[in-house]
Structure 1
Amino acid sequence: MTIPLQQACYRARFATSEADLLACQQLRHLCFFGHPGRDADKFDVDCRHLMVTDVAGHLVATLRLFEAANGAQAAAGYAGQHYDLSGFAQMTRPMIEIGRFCVAPDVMHADVSRTAWAALARLVDAGNVGMLFGCTSLTGTDPARYGQAMQCLIRNHLGPREYLPGIKSSNVTKLSDVPVTGTHPLPPLMRSYLAMGGWVGDHLVTDPRMKTMHVFTCLDVDAVPPARARALRTLAQALALP
């Protein structure tokens, strides 16, 4: 599927070949590990991989989508291995897990992220998706460097009690236990979720292999502020789906 954004210099499409998937995995490795390589895991085969390319066809961003028919199936994705998602079991609308969202380090243009979100908006509307969710990565493994940001999340952005993921991993830090010292900002992806009304879980999970931490992040599509929803749909109208 090709999703050209007419007013910008970027295009979005799904990976359709092994070469496409390899390009996505190589960009992921560069972004998350900081050097060339291939980031691949068992979840790739069950996901669709969205690619954002420039006018020359170079890959500048990627993310993968695990599409669950309902809340009971959501636990089968990547997030489900780190978080207890049994609170989602009664949800009947489709859900999409967004994973491995990354932008090439040498690309700073805001239209890259806007192109990806516009493509997601079309997919959400087309599939009557009720929730977007995923694990938002934080650089490093020291929660204290994000201390003030974690306090902000606790005060303003904790999810509904009935949906909060339970603890499943052994490498966990409760947000409430993070010292209020560090001033490192939240990553752009999490800020995007929060600006649209998203919420977070109450604990961080450390990933020693990737040398990162992540927090469960969720966006109830129906809770997106009306003005933001209109802006997303206006942008999505620029996408020509075949």
Structure 2
Amino acid sequence: MQPLRKGHYRARLAETPDDLRAAQRLRWICFLGRNGAPDDGSALDADALDAECSHMLIEDMRHGTLVCAFRFLPLADGSQIARSYSAQFYDLDALQRFDGPMVEMGRFCIHPDCHDPNIVRIAWAALTRFVDETGVEMLFGCSSFVGCEPEPHEDAFAMLKERHLAPRRWLPRVKAPRVFRFARALRMRKPDPKRAMAAMPPLLRSYLAMGGWVSDHAVVDPALKTMHVFTGVEIRAIPPARKRLLDAMLNGTA
């Protein structure tokens, strides 16, 4: 994939060991540093899957700094889904029947000092190009809520329960030892739409706008101090208006 530019940002795939270390350093800052983990200035967030993934870097060309990173794990079809990061936390047997190319998007992070919405826009433009060039038919991953207690996010969880649960044919089942079964616990709760969207992680909002769906439970991850839901998007099901917006971002007209 060729580098993609929007304003003073550039999206490109990591090419060198230094590129990968920069992404792992940013991930540590976003996922572990915010929780007060000790740091000597060189701590990294790394795992065995990094070697199997492509890593996308979003750089601010004014300063040469990395402001956003995420990774892709391509799978030929659902028969390979046990290789994914998500499969550590969810029973994904139902998705083994998916017969098209898939990609897991993970470790999405934006530097905590950066708040420009154009960073997310170029990230989604880069993702759109990657999907178009590789013929991916399903995008999936874990979308994280900060903290391990459900109460601050109950309106968001109630909205997910009411409007965005996975189709039964793809529904992930419980595997992790600590989960919050929000579809069951909040079955009688009606969400406040404004509070729900305010509590929804930005990445998850983007998934949902593309017709995405989620698991019926959230996994509690005490290591990262988050709660996350499995999230999937079938590319052919993306609403036409949203697809036009993604294409416009890719072509530099939005």
Fold shared per TM-score above 0.5 = yes
Q: Is the 8 A contact 2:161 2:216 kept in 1?
A: yes
Q: Is the 8 A contact 2:90 2:175 kept in 1?
A: yes
For 1:106 and 1:145, the matched residues in 2 are separated by: 23
Partner of 1:57: 64
- Among candidates 167, 171, 177, match of residue 178 of structure 2: 171
> What's the TM-score once normalised by structure 2's chain length?
0.88
- Structure 2 runs not aligned, ≥5 long: none
- Structural mapping, 1:2-151, within 5 Å: 2-5=2-5, 7-33=6-32, 34=34, 36=39, 37-55=43-61, 56-151=63-158
The CA deviation at 1:178 is 4.5
- Structural mapping, 1:152-191, within 5 Å: 152-178=159-185, 185-191=199-205
* Percent identity for Structure 1 against Structure 2: 43
The CA deviation at 1:4 is 2.4
> What's the TM-score once normalised by structure 1's chain length?
0.93
Q: Is the 8 A contact 1:65 1:98 kept in 2?
A: yes
The CA deviation at 1:234 is 2.3
Partner of 2:228: 214
Q: CA RMSD in A?
A: 1.9
The CA deviation at 1:57 is 2.1
Q: Deviations over 1:180-237 (max 9, x none)?
A: 6995701100011111111101011111111111100111111111011012112223
After TM superposition, which residue ranges in structure 1, 4 or more long, deviate above 2 angstroms? 176-184
Q: What letter corresponds to residue 30 of structure 2 in structure 1?
A: C
Sort the Cα spacing of 1:178 and 1:116 in 2 relative to 1 into closer, same or farther, 3 A: same
The CA deviation at 1:9 is 1.2
Partner of 1:226: 240
